[in-house]
Amino acid sequence: MKRRDFLKKISVGTAALAVGTADLALLANNGPAGIFDGTIVLGRPTDSSIAINVLSNDQLEVYFEYGTQSGVYADRTANSKIAAGVPFEDVIANLQFNTRYYYRMRFRRRGGGEFKEGLEYTFHTQRTSASTFIFGVQGDSHPERKKRFDPDLYTRTLLTAASDLPDFYILMGDDFSVDTLKTETINANLVAERYTLQRPYLDLIANSSPLFLVNGNHEQAAGYLLDGTPNNIAVWAQNARNLYYPQPAPDCFYSGNPESVEFIGLLRNYYSWTWGDALFVVIDPYWPSPVVVDNVFGGGDKTKDKWLITHGDAQFQWLKQTLEQSTAKWKFVFAHHVNGTGRGGVEVAGLYEWGGHNNQGVWEFDIKRPGWEMPIHQLMVQNGVNIFFQGHDHMFVRQQIDGVTYQTTPYPADPTYGLDKADRITSGDLVPCSGYVRVSVCESSVLVDYIRTFLPMDETTEQVNGQVAYTYTVTAT
């Protein structure tokens, strides 16, 4: 969908969505000289830089102005040319540590004329120790599932999350599902459309809150699909992901997967960074596993022997080193799901390489994972991981085991407001959809709020958009 068409849709539904005129102007990226017909997504924030990914429907010449005061832009980037429909990525560097910046894009059509002014947005560089900050987490959005995805509700969820001004926003996977595409007609362009589909929505928050992506099973960005050629789904999916959304690769700020994959380069599928007093770690079983982890593209049987599913030796050793060497007070780990498949949190935390037992409860870890000192769950326990975040189960569930909180995240756009997989959960606190998770980090504690979102027609005195439906606090041990 083109940006102008998306904005018209929002404009028509303004009353229904209760979006004010100021919000609508923000959505439109209206400047005094016109409208930017495109989207902006931030990514890879560091102590001194930010990546800005621009997707325009026009041929443009652009540059960015930025500064530490709203409306005052002391610096600017060089002019760059943008092709229509081709993502352009720029990096603003040499920024100050622990500082809020304000920026806007100036743009004109190729060939000359005056530069138009985009709206002002904002971002924050890496926080110092003892800083207080907010980040947001979104569960599976599944825009291809019409009964579980309402575009107006998704818009409202993202706008509500954006009002928190989080330092960044984390998507837990199954946001770019390609496995509903037909096997006989799938191609690189159709896969890319799964990623461009999300741009007008995610722009609502990502113009000021950088995005971090977690790989999900329905993305089919997975090692089992590689066939030695550039023309397969896994290559198309990962290349689209890295093209449209700036994700971290190992450097002086981020740690992560150093392996280069033919026809892709660096995968950017697992990575970590430190922000304030917190360590953030994203892991992925889909690329390292030689077998299908969850669903087979085009249909077929799932892997019966779950010991064949693996995060891989390299990722495990990286995870171990990352957790052991971190001195952060708070540690958060993110994955689409325990072992990448199944249902539940603590219900399956004891199984296979995550917990060491087979499905009969027999300990097999030592023979199945030689060279691994302990399963992943025990590794998190030993290294003081506070919260493990996962998606996949499509509802808000808080569980605890061995001092680790297992936090399942809800659909952000489910108009049924249901508990999709509740029958598979045997313990913990469950709250229906839809919404997102807001996490407030401070020196002495971490506050986790489940923010529920509703369409205006569904609001009541008990169901109010933006209400805190569940809250808990994690304290340092």
SS3 112: coil
* Sign of the dihedral defined by the CA atoms of residues 36, 58, 240, 88, in that order: negative
Closest CA to 66 of 116, 101, 100, 90: 101
Whether residue 423 is predicted with pLDDT greater than 90 in this model: the reply is no
Burial 63-98 (b: 16+ CB within 10 A, else e): ebbbbeeeeebeeebeeeebeeeebbbbebeebeee
Region of poorest pLDDT, from 5-19, 79-93, 376-390, 438-452: 5-19
pLDDT on residue 5: 54
Cβ-based neighbour number of residue 158 at 10 Å: 25
The residue to which tokens 């002495």 are assigned? 444
| Strand segments (E) across 409-467 | 429-431, 435-441, 445-452
Tell me what the mean pLDDT of segment 421-437 comes to. Answer: 92
SS3 389: strand
Q: Which bin fits 263, alpha (ψ -120 to 50), beta or left (φ > 0)?
A: left
Alpha carbon distances (Å) from 56 to 61, 151, 419: 11, 21, 38
pLDDT in tens, 188-206: 999 999 999 999 999 999 9
Region of poorest pLDDT, from 196-200, 407-411, 425-429: 425-429
The answer to whether 143 and 397 have CB atoms below 8 angstroms apart is no
CATH number of 133-475: 3.60.21.10
Whether residue 12 is predicted with pLDDT greater than 50 in this model: the reply is no
Closest CA to 138 of 396, 459, 441, 405: 396
pLDDT on residue 111: 80
pLDDT in tens, 125-149: 999 999 999 999 999 999 999 899 9
The answer for residues whose C-beta is within 8 angstroms of residue 221's C-beta and 6 or more apart is 215, 234, 237, 238, 241, 269, 286, 287
Tell me what the mean pLDDT of segment 418-436 comes to. Answer: 91
Q: Hey, what CATH topology would domain 18-124 get? A: Immunoglobulin-like (2.60.40)
Cβ-based neighbour number of residue 475 at 10 Å: 8
pLDDT on residue 218: 96
Helices (H) and strands (E) in the chain — how many of each?
11, 27
**Pairing between β-strand 211-213 and β-strand 169-171 as defined by DSSP bridges:** parallel
The answer to whether 281 and 272 have CB atoms below 8 angstroms apart is yes
Measured torsion, CA atoms of residues 145, 147, 148, 154, in degrees rounded to the nearest 10: 90
Tell me what the mean pLDDT of segment 169-185 comes to. Answer: 95
pLDDT on residue 112: 79
Whether residue 256 is predicted with pLDDT greater than 50 in this model: the reply is yes
Whether residue 33 is predicted with pLDDT greater than 70 in this model: the reply is no
Closest CA to 197 of 433, 5, 60: 5
Q: What is the C-alpha to C-alpha distance for residues 5 and 234, in angstroms, rounded to an integer?
A: 30
The residue to which tokens 């002391």 are assigned? 74
pLDDT in tens, 60-78: 999 999 999 999 999 999 9
% of the chain with per-residue pLDDT over 90: 88
**Band of residue 29 on the pLDDT scale cut at 50, 70, 90:** very low
Each domain of the chain, given as residue ranges in start order, spans 18-124, 133-475
Region of poorest pLDDT, from 67-76, 99-108, 275-284, 293-302: 293-302
**Angle (nearest 5°) at CA 432 between 427 and 436:** 105
Q: What is the C-alpha to C-alpha distance for residues 282 and 253, in angstroms, rounded to an integer?
A: 15
Whether residue 10 is predicted with pLDDT greater than 70 in this model: the reply is no
pLDDT on residue 217: 96
pLDDT in tens, 321-373: 999 999 999 999 999 999 999 999 999 999 999 999 999 999 999 999 999 99
pLDDT on residue 15: 32
* Sign of the dihedral defined by the CA atoms of residues 285, 291, 292, 294, in that order: negative
- Structure tokens given for 72: 């005052």
Whether residue 50 is predicted with pLDDT greater than 80 in this model: the reply is yes
Whether residue 4 is predicted with pLDDT greater than 70 in this model: the reply is no
- Structure tokens given for 101: 């910046």
pLDDT on residue 27: 42
- Structure tokens given for 467: 């209400």
Read off the DSSP letter of residue 363: B
Tell me what the mean pLDDT of segment 397-418 comes to. Answer: 97
Whether residue 209 is predicted with pLDDT greater than 70 in this model: the reply is yes
Higher model confidence: residue 468 or residue 424? 468
Tell me what the mean pLDDT of segment 373-382 comes to. Answer: 98
Burial 6-41 (b: 16+ CB within 10 A, else e): bbeebeebeeebebeeebeebbbbbbeeeebbbbbb
